[in-house]
């Protein structure tokens, strides 16, 4: 498969500028590059979702033109999107055959075919389970199977590991090796350069829309790869400084969030966060983190007591909590973080409609909001042609930088940060960490939820593990390894050096 001279322009931006990549059959080919470098655009072109302004795609030596994903699928190209697109209330089989009924029907024949594929690539799929009962790693395998079921020979995976714990990443990489052994080709996008080096046969670096170089993992270190992406040397990251004080900024007692199916989503959780402290919460996705965060933001009914400083805010709504100084970086930036169709400067106002610099007296202060948006764009290196473009047109990582910049600009007392660097490149990640550390040293209390265990271990002063809605362990971020933390998160705590959380008495141990 080859991409030759691919060029794609958007208003004010050249997203792809003469991209050239040759991908050998039966290999894993990684594409890396900074946020906004043009990776997703390129994959959308290859998958027929967007038309290039110039350039050609070759599959098996023949030039192809895709007017739609259906045509790409026919040519054997499949894409697994970062946001899973499965229907929760259907079984695995139903999800896989949906839209591809003509292949093997929807009955026993389809089910047999699914088992066949699952077996030949070692996917371990159980065709009759409901998708809602599956973990993230399994869902991803269903997505992959769905693509294989449609006859894909070339698989595109756009940031597939962002939501996986290390054990799941290892499993995924095992699956990719099996696919490769069967002659399939995988194109893989990731910001986690160590993973890229571990799994790829070749790596193409894209910088500002152009292909810089294609290398083999044996030829580069992850640092060199990062420098190829950025085009200059990276600063050496700062070491942790100890800023934790004994003043409690946020205290949560016996917080419980009911759920529709019996067992509460958050079950009697208690903790304290001090001024200058980052409390990390580790857990496999779907163990109550999302509900915990939404309850803390007043977006979801809960019982228990939440105190900000000395005041009980349990009954406050979201607006009151924000105004009192709780910043919020939401997990799902499309649902809660941004108005995608609105320009960047209006997104700057979102959630802070009643605060400076967005208002002057009772009125919205357009000039104030616009000037501050320019500042955020510069300070957080949001790559955009301007502050009047719609948020939807920013690349994933640049949308994230905009949200982080907005939430930090109100100098919150407490920051609830869900996956603050998900999807951002290594350089931007280091910059966001630096911003968070500096604010922490100045007294900010942070609740950090992340699937990136290196981030949790590197940033947290205190680290707890959540499992089925309960805090089940407290681990020492100074000594725990990502593998040990991963085991604690799945409940396999035997070999991990964890101490039981022991109710709220453990809150004072730090």
Ligand X SMILES: Nc1ncnc2c1ncn2[C@@H]1O[C@H](COP(=O)(O)OP(=O)(O)OP(=O)(O)O)[C@@H](O)[C@H]1O
Q: Pick one of ligand X, Mg ion, none as the site partner of residue 394 (Cβ within 5 to 8 A by kind).
A: ligand X
The three-state (H, E, C) secondary structure of 247-295, written as one string: CEEEEEEEEEECCCCCCCCEEEEEEEEECCCEEEEECCCCCCHHHHHHH
What is the rounded CA–CA span in Å between residue 28 and residue 201?
A: 5
Q: Pick one of ligand X, Mg ion, none as the site partner of residue 38 (Cβ within 5 to 8 A by kind).
A: ligand X
Q: Is 33 in the site for ligand X (CB under 6 A)?
A: yes
Q: Is 40 in the site for Mg ion (CB under 5 A)?
A: yes
Please list every residue from 192 through 221 that binds ligand X, using CB under 6 A: none
Backbone angles phi, psi at 22, to 5 degrees: -110, 130
**Which of residues 396, 412, 427, 469 is near Mg ion by CB under 5 A?**
396
**Which of residues 118, 270, 302, 393 is near ligand X by CB under 6 A?**
393
Which range, of 39-47, 278-286, 442-450, 480-488, touches ligand X by CB under 6 A? 39-47
Q: Is 35 in the site for ligand X (CB under 6 A)?
A: yes
Q: Is 397 in the site for ligand X (CB under 6 A)?
A: yes
Write down the least CB distance from residue 41 to Mg ion, Å.
8
Residue 1, number of CB atoms within 10 A of its CB:
22
Consecutive H or E run containing 318: helix 318-323
Q: Which is nearer to ligand X, 174 or 385 (CB)?
A: 385
Extract the tokens encoding 224.
Answer: 């060199």
Which range, of 28-36, 62-70, 197-205, 333-341, touches ligand X by CB under 6 A? 28-36
CA distances 196 to 30, 32, 179, 354, Å, are 7, 8, 17, 44
**Which of residues 373, 398, 409, 450 is near ligand X by CB under 6 A?**
398
Q: How many residues bind Mg ion (CB under 5 A)?
A: 2
Which range, of 36-44, 171-179, 331-339, 476-484, touches Mg ion by CB under 5 A? 36-44
Q: Pick one of ligand X, Mg ion, none as the site partner of residue 4 (Cβ within 5 to 8 A by kind).
A: none
What is the rounded CA–CA span in Å between residue 151 and residue 202?
A: 24
Which range, of 224-232, 302-310, 316-324, 396-404, touches Mg ion by CB under 5 A? 396-404
Residue 378, number of CB atoms within 10 A of its CB:
10
Q: Which is nearer to Mg ion, 40 or 487 (CB)?
A: 40
Write down the least CB distance from residue 384 to ligand X, Å.
6
Write down the least CB distance from residue 147 to ligand X, Å.
19
What is the rounded CA–CA span in Å between residue 6 and residue 28?
A: 21
CA contacts within 13 A on the Cβ side of 17: 12
Supply the DSSP symbol for 82: S
In a 3-state reduction of DSSP, which class is residue 428? helix
Q: Is 160 in the site for ligand X (CB under 6 A)?
A: no
What is the rounded CA–CA span in Å between residue 4 and residue 218?
A: 26
Contact letters for ligand X, residues 414-453 (x by CB under 6 A)? ---------x-x----------------------------
**Which of residues 264, 327, 351, 396 is near ligand X by CB under 6 A?**
396
Q: Pick one of Mg ion, ligand X, none as the site partner of residue 84 (Cβ within 5 to 8 A by kind).
A: none
To 5 degrees, how large is the angle CA 177–CA 221–CA 436? 100
Number of H helices, E strands in the chain: 17, 22
Which range, of 33-41, 141-149, 233-241, 290-298, touches ligand X by CB under 6 A? 33-41
What is the rounded CA–CA span in Å between residue 455 and residue 475?
A: 15
Residues 105-123 as b or e (16 or more Cβ within 10 Å = b): eeeeebbebbeebbeebeb
Q: Is 41 in the site for ligand X (CB under 6 A)?
A: yes
What is the rounded CA–CA span in Å between residue 339 and residue 318?
A: 17
CA–chain centroid gap for 364, Å, is 33
Please list every residue from 253 through 292 that binds ligand X, using CB under 6 A: none
Q: Is 38 in the site for ligand X (CB under 6 A)?
A: yes
Write down the least CB distance from residue 163 to ligand X, Å.
15
Instruction: Give the interface with ligand X as residue ranges (CB under 6 A).
Output: 10, 13, 15, 33, 35-41, 383, 393-398, 423, 425
Instruction: Give the interface with Mg ion as residue ranges (CB under 5 A).
Output: 40, 396
């Amino acid at each position: 498969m080859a991409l030759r001279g691919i060029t794609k322009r958007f208003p004010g931006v050249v997203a792809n500028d003469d991209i050239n990549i040759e991908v050998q059959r039966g290999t894993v080919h990684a594409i890396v590059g900074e946020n906004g470098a043009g990776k997703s655009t390129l994959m959308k072109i290859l998958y027929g979702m967007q038309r290039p302004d110039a350039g050609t795609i070759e599959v098996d030596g023949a030039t192809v033109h895709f007017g739609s994903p259906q045509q790409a699928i026919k040519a054997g190209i499949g894409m697994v999107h970062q946001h899973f697109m499965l229907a929760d209330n259907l079984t695995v089989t139903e999800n896989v055959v949906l839209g591809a009924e003509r292949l093997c029907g929807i009955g026993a024949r389809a089910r047999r075919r699914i088992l066949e594929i699952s077996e030949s690539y070692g996917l371990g799929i159980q065709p009759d389970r409901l998708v809602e009962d599956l973990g993230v790693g399994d869902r991803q395998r269903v997505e992959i199977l769905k693509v294989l079921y449609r006859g894909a020979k070339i698989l595109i995976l756009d940031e597939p590991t962002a939501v996986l714990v290390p054990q799941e990443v290892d499993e995924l990489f095992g699956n990719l090796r099996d696919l490769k052994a069967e002659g399939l080709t995988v194109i893989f996008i990731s910001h986690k350069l160590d993973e890229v080096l571990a799994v790829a046969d070749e790596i193409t670096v894209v910088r500002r829309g152009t292909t810089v170089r294609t290398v083999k993992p044996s030829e580069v270190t992850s640092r060199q790869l990062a420098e190829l992406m950025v085009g200059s040397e990276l600063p050496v990251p700062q070491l942790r400084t100890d800023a934790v004080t004994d003043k409690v900024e946020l205290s949560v007692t016996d917080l419980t969030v009911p759920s529709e199916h019996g067992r509460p989503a958050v079950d009697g959780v208690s903790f304290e966060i001090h001024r200058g402290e980052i409390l990390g919460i580790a857990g496999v996705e779907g163990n109550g983190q999302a509900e915990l965060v939404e309850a803390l933001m007043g977006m979801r009914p809960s019982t228990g007591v939440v105190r900000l400083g000395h005041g009980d805010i349990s009954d406050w709504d979201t607006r009151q909590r924000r105004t009192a100084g709780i910043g919020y970086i939401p997990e799902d930036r499309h649902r809660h973080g941004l108005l995608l169709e609105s320009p960047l400067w209006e997104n700057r106002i979102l959630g802070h409609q009643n605060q400076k610099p967005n208002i002057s007296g009772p009125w919205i202060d357009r000039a104030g909001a616009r000037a501050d948006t320019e500042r955020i764009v510069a300070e957080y290196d949001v790559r955009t042609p301007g502050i009047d473009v719609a948020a939807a047109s920013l690349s994933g990582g640049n949308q994230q930088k905009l949200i982080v910049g907005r939430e930090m600009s109100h100098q919150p007392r407490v920051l609830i940060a869900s996956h603050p660097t998900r999807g951002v490149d290594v350089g931007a990640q280091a910059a966001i960490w630096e911003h968070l550390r500096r604010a922490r040293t100045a007294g900010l209390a942070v609740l950090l939820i992340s699937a990136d265990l290196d981030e949790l271990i590197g940033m947290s002063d205190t680290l707890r593990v959540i499992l089925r809605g309960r805090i089940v362990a407290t681990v020492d971020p100074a000594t725990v390894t990502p593998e040990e933390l991963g085991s604690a998160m799945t409940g396999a705590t035997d070999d991990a050096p964890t101490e039981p959380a022991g109710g709220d008495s453990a809150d004072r141990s730090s």
